[in-house]
């Protein structure tokens, strides 16, 4: 068993506040770490997407350096307070938001940054954070809360092995996410060519419209569509189900998945269905899922359940295309929230008889994406389970540096990366 040492968080780090910027500074200048970047990342991304026009003095005072820990300072709920993002390298000229706190290490041999990235997001530390949080109108992280926080850490060399190993699992998760992003781009290109430009492969494998395929006028779309095709609304392919008015009752029953604009981890009772669903948040966020059992959505969220699963990917892409138009203002006026009617009124042109089987390729891409999403869920569960086991020595890492270099595709392969003193398979 590994020894675990108790520390006052404030003895190992000093707290600093972020920059108070003005609207005219945003969007240009030097790299800027926003609240959302901190909230959504265990580690600060290699490239920071936001910019802020800051002076050299500001860049010095509000600097971002390797070893720093950035914490969300304020939030609507306690659960979102103090979410960490660890900095692994220096970011020249970068500054950070006033809605974020910076913890800069005062030591170099007690905490290992890669380990801290996982430890501070773990359930046991998050519980410590929420237990010490102050909630008035908004939850707020301050010096008083920081002074009460405790860290329970193994020795530095153990932290290094754990942090390096868990980062290898995260690397696989990140790779899956990048591949899925490329696959979605591919699916969108195929959708545009086949169902918007109508250059799907004809019986001879040539692009239909470009090769002179017969087109007929569609009054609904005010444009020509292929002969033998029809214009239908999305709502005839999949009912659009709206969410509950109030999510407060969710705690009464923890059995079923619950989807909100920001997350899908809350629980509640619901209706039943089997198969695939397209989940749409009212703010334009998307998800693709296969759910079996019961499910519900929060207000301003919508669930589209295809009557026929072959239309699944087409519904997803058609809805996303329309929502991009509404929320980004690429055509017409810009809307802030998506309504049920916005989804129900989406019109698509489809072949009356799918002799060419145009949906198979799109659905195969989606299926590949779903497999990677499922793999990431398993990797995340395994990573979170391994952290406390590695900390207390119930699981020993043979050679963390070597194990972090190999790619794993299944949960069983991951189990080979550690030598358990307990029955790993029985535990899982």
pLDDT per residue as tens digits for the range 377-419 = 888 888 888 898 889 887 776 643 344 344 344 443 443 344 3
What separation, in Å, do the N-terminal and C-terminal C-alpha atoms of the chain show? Answer: 21
Q: Residues 6 or more apart from 107 whose CB is under 8 A from it? A: 12
Percent of the chain past pLDDT 70, that is, above it, reads 76
Burial zone of 174 (CB within 10 Å; 0-12 exposed, 13-18 middle, 19+ buried)? middle
Structural contact between residues 16 and 33, judged by C-beta atoms closer than 8 angstroms? no
Residue with the larger pLDDT of the pair 101 and 262: 101
pLDDT in the model for residue 246: 45
Residue 24, both tokens: 């005219």
Among residues 76, 27, 78, 25, the alpha carbon closest in space to that of 54 is found at 25
Q: Give ∠ CA 23-29-34 in degrees, rounded to 5.
A: 60
Rounded Cα distance, 404 and 167, in Å? 7
Whether pTM > 0.85 for this model: the answer is no
pLDDT in the model for residue 416: 38
Mean pLDDT of the chain: 81
pLDDT in the model for residue 222: 94
Rounded Cα distance, 18 and 21, in Å? 9
Among residues 378, 374, 372, the alpha carbon closest in space to that of 414 is found at 378
Rounded Cα distance, 169 and 41, in Å? 15
Q: Give ∠ CA 151-154-155 in degrees, rounded to 5.
A: 120
25-39, 125-139, 248-262, 355-369, range with the lowest pLDDT: 248-262
107-116, 308-317, 349-358, range with the lowest pLDDT: 349-358
What's phi and psi for 192, nearest 5 deg?
A: -65, -45
Residue 143, both tokens: 């010096």
Structural contact between residues 217 and 224, judged by C-beta atoms closer than 8 angstroms? yes
User: In this structure, what DSSP letter does residue 204 have?
Assistant: T
């Amino acid at each position: 068993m590994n020894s675990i040492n108790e520390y006052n968080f404030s003895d190992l780090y000093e707290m600093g506040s972020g920059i108070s910027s003005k609207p005219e500074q945003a969007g240009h200048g030097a790299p800027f770490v926003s609240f959302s970047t901190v909230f959504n990342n265990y580690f600060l991304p290699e490239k920071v997407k936001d910019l802020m026009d800051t002076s050299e003095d500001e860049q010095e005072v509000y600097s971002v350096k390797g070893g720093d820990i950035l914490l969300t300072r304020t939030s609507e709920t306690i659960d979102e307070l103090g979410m960490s993002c660890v900095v692994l390298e220096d970011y020249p000229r970068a500054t950070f938001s006033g809605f974020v706190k910076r913890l800069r290490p005062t030591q170099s041999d007690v905490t290992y940054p890669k380990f801290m990235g996982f430890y501070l997001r773990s359930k046991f530390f998050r519980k410590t954070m929420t237990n010490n949080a102050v909630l008035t109108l908004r939850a707020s992280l301050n010096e008083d809360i920081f002074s009460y926080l405790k860290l329970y850490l193994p020795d530095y060399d153990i932290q290094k092995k754990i942090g390096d190993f868990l980062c290898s699992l995260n690397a696989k998760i990140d790779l899956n996410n990048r591949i899925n992003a490329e696959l979605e781009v591919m699916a969108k290109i195929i959708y545009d060519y086949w169902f918007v430009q109508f250059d799907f492969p004809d019986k001879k494998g040539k692009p239909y419209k470009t090769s002179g395929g017969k087109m007929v006028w569609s009054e609904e779309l005010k444009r020509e569509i292929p002969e033998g095709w029809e214009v239908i609304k999305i709502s005839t392919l999949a009912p659009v189900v709206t969410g509950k008015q109030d999510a407060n009752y969710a705690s009464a029953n923890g059995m079923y998945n619950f989807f909100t604009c920001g997350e899908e981890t809350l629980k509640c009772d619901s209706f039943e269905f089997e198969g695939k669903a397209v989940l749409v948040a009212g703010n334009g966020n998307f998800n693709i899922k296969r759910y079996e059992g019961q499910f519900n959505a929060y207000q301003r969220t919508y669930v589209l359940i295809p009557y026929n699963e072959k239309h699944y990917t087409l519904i997803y892409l058609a809805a996303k295309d329309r929502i991009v138009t509404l929320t980004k203002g690429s055509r017409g006026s810009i809307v802030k929230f998506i309504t049920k009617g916005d989804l129900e009124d989406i019109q698509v042109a489809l072949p009356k008889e799918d002799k060419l089987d145009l949906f198979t390729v799109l659905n195969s891409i989606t299926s590949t994406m779903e497999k990677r999403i499922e793999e990431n869920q398993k990797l995340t569960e395994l990573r979170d389970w391994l952290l406390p086991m590695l900390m207390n020595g119930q699981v020993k890492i043979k050679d963390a540096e070597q194990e972090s270099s190999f790619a794993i595709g299944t949960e069983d392969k991951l189990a080979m990366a550690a030598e358990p003193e307990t029955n790993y398979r029985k535990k899982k």
